[in-house]
A and B are shown apart, each in its own frame.
Chain A
Amino acid sequence: MSFWKRFARNRGAVLGLVLLLAVIVIALIAPMLYPRGPWPMVQRPFLAPYTVDGLPLGTDTLGRNVAAGLVYGAQVSLLVGLISTVMALLIGVPLGAAAGFYGGWLDEGAMRFTEFFQTIPNFALAIVLVAILEPSLTSITLSIAIVSWPPVARLVRAEVMSVSKREYVDAARLAGLSNLRILVGQVLPNTVSPIIVMASLMVATAILLESSLSFLGLGDPNIMSWGYQIGAARTVIRSAWWLSFFPGLAIVLTVLALNLIGEGLNDALNPHLSRKGRT
Chain B
Amino acid sequence: MTNPVLSIEHLSIKLPDGADRQFAVDDCSYTLDKGEILCVVGESGSGKSMTANALMGLLPEGVSVGAGRAVFEGKDILRQSEAESQNLRGAKIAMIFQEPMTALNPLMRIGDQISEVFEAHKRHTPSERRKRALDLVREVDLPDPEKIIRAYPFQLSGGQRQRAMIAMALALEPQILIADEPTTALDVTTQAQILKLILDLRKKRDMAVIFITHDFGVVAEIADKVLVMRYGKIVERGTADAVLKNPQHDYTKHLLAAIPSGLVPQNAEVQNSPALEVKALNKVFRTGGGFMKPHREVCAIDNISLSIAKGEVLGLVGESGSGKSTLGRAVVRLVTPDSGQILVGGIDMAALSESELRRARYKVQMVFQDPYASLNPRHKILRALTDGPIAKGVAKEQARSRARELMEIVGLGSDAVDRFPHEFSGGQRQRIGIARALAMDPDLIIADEAVSALDVSIQAQVLDLLRELRSQLNLSILFITHDLRVAAQLCDRIAVMQKGNLVEIGPVSDVFLNPQNDYTQRLLAAVPGGGWDLAKAPLSL
CA of A176 to CA of B333, assembled, Å: 12
Interface presence of B76 (CB below 8 A): no
Kindly provide the distance from the CB of A177 to the nearest chain B CB, expressed in whole angstroms: 6
Query: A169-209: contact bitstring with B at CB < 8 Å (1 yes, 0 no)?
Result: 01111111110000000100110000000000000000000
A174-B361, A174-B364, A174-B388 known; A190 vs B369 contact (CB < 8 Å)? no
The residues of A that contact B365 with a CB separation of less than 8 Å are 174
The residues of B that contact A190 with a CB separation of less than 8 Å are 376-378
CA of A166 to CA of B384, assembled, Å: 14
**Structural contact, A175 and B391, CB atoms closer than 8 A:** yes
CA of A175 to CA of B334, assembled, Å: 12
Kindly provide the distance from the CB of A204 to the nearest chain B CB, expressed in whole angstroms: 28
Interface presence of A53 (CB below 8 A): no
Q: What range describes how many residues of A lie at the interface?
A: 10 to 19
CA of A267 to CA of B392, assembled, Å: 40
CA of A189 to CA of B379, assembled, Å: 10
The residues of B that contact A167 with a CB separation of less than 8 Å are 368-370, 373-374
A167-B368, A170-B368 known; A175 vs B377 contact (CB < 8 Å)? no
The residues of A that contact B377 with a CB separation of less than 8 Å are 190
A167-B368, A167-B369, A168-B373 known; A173 vs B378 contact (CB < 8 Å)? no
CA of A186 to CA of B388, assembled, Å: 13
CA of A143 to CA of B31, assembled, Å: 72
The residues of A that contact B387 with a CB separation of less than 8 Å are 172, 175, 177
Kindly provide the distance from the CB of B392 to the nearest chain A CB, expressed in whole angstroms: 6
CA of A63 to CA of B262, assembled, Å: 93
CA of A167 to CA of B388, assembled, Å: 15
Kindly provide the distance from the CB of A5 to the nearest chain B CB, expressed in whole angstroms: 14
Complex: chain B residue closest to A172, CB-CB: B387
CA of A167 to CA of B370, assembled, Å: 8
CA of A95 to CA of B387, assembled, Å: 27
**Structural contact, A189 and B384, CB atoms closer than 8 A:** no
The residues of A that contact B124 with a CB separation of less than 8 Å are none
Question: Which residues, 379 to 430 on B, are CB-close (under 8 Å) to A?
Answer: 384, 387-388, 391-392
**Structural contact, A176 and B373, CB atoms closer than 8 A:** no
A168-B374, A189-B378, A190-B378 known; A176 vs B361 contact (CB < 8 Å)? yes
Q: Considering residues A167, A170, A177, which has the most beta carbons from chain B within 10 angstroms of its beta carbon?
A: A167
Query: B332-345: contact bitstring with A at CB < 8 Å (1 yes, 0 no)?
Result: 10100000000000
Kindly provide the distance from the CB of B387 to the nearest chain A CB, expressed in whole angstroms: 5
Q: Considering residues B368, B375, B387, B388, which has the most beta carbons from chain A within 10 angstroms of its beta carbon?
A: B387
Query: B341-369: contact bitstring with A at CB < 8 Å (1 yes, 0 no)?
Result: 00000000000000000110110111011
The residues of B that contact A171 with a CB separation of less than 8 Å are 366, 368, 374-375, 384, 433, 436
Q: Considering residues A174, A176, A186, which has the most beta carbons from chain B within 10 angstroms of its beta carbon?
A: A174
The residues of A that contact B56 with a CB separation of less than 8 Å are none
Interface class of chain A by DSSP? helix
The residues of B that contact A166 with a CB separation of less than 8 Å are 373-374
Question: Which residues, 83 to 137 on A, are CB-close (under 8 Å) to B?
Answer: none
CA of A170 to CA of B334, assembled, Å: 7
CA of A255 to CA of B370, assembled, Å: 42
CA of A178 to CA of B392, assembled, Å: 12
The residues of B that contact A172 with a CB separation of less than 8 Å are 376, 387
The residues of B that contact A176 with a CB separation of less than 8 Å are 358-359, 361-362, 388, 391-392
A174-B332, A175-B391, A176-B392 known; A168 vs B361 contact (CB < 8 Å)? no
**Structural contact, B361 and A173, CB atoms closer than 8 A:** yes
CA of A175 to CA of B387, assembled, Å: 7
| B358 CB contact (under 8 Å) in A168, A178, A189 | A178
**Structural contact, A175 and B376, CB atoms closer than 8 A:** no
**Structural contact, B392 and A168, CB atoms closer than 8 A:** no
Interface presence of B77 (CB below 8 A): no
Interface presence of B440 (CB below 8 A): yes
Query: B433-449: contact bitstring with A at CB < 8 Å (1 yes, 0 no)?
Result: 10010001000000000
The residues of A that contact B332 with a CB separation of less than 8 Å are 174
Kindly provide the distance from the CB of B76 to the nearest chain A CB, expressed in whole angstroms: 32
The residues of B that contact A186 with a CB separation of less than 8 Å are 376
The residues of A that contact B384 with a CB separation of less than 8 Å are 168, 171
Kindly provide the distance from the CB of A211 to the nearest chain B CB, expressed in whole angstroms: 38
Kindly provide the distance from the CB of A143 to the nearest chain B CB, expressed in whole angstroms: 32
Complex: chain A residue closest to B365, CB-CB: A174
A174-B361, A174-B365, A174-B366 known; A168 vs B375 contact (CB < 8 Å)? yes
Complex: chain A residue closest to B334, CB-CB: A170
CA of A166 to CA of B365, assembled, Å: 16
| A175 CB contact (under 8 Å) in B369, B374, B388, B433 | B388
CA of A171 to CA of B384, assembled, Å: 9
Kindly provide the distance from the CB of B95 to the nearest chain A CB, expressed in whole angstroms: 18
The residues of B that contact A177 with a CB separation of less than 8 Å are 358, 387-388, 391
Kindly provide the distance from the CB of A73 to the nearest chain B CB, expressed in whole angstroms: 40
A-B contact pairs, 20 of them (CB 8 A): A166-B373, A167-B369, A167-B373, A168-B374, A168-B376, A170-B334, A171-B368, A171-B374, A171-B433, A171-B436, A174-B332, A174-B334, A174-B364, A174-B365, A175-B362, A176-B391, A177-B387, A177-B391, A190-B377, A190-B378
Given contacts A171-B374, A174-B364, A175-B392, 10 further A-B contacts (CB under 8 A): A167-B368, A171-B366, A171-B375, A171-B436, A172-B376, A174-B366, A175-B440, A176-B359, A177-B358, A177-B387
Residues of B at the A interface (CB closer than 8 Å) are: 332, 334, 358-359, 361-362, 364-366, 368-370, 373-378, 384, 387-388, 391-392, 433, 436, 440
In the A-B complex, the 9 residue pairs with the closest CB atoms: A175-B388, A167-B368, A167-B374, A168-B376, A166-B373, A176-B361, A176-B391, A176-B358, A167-B373
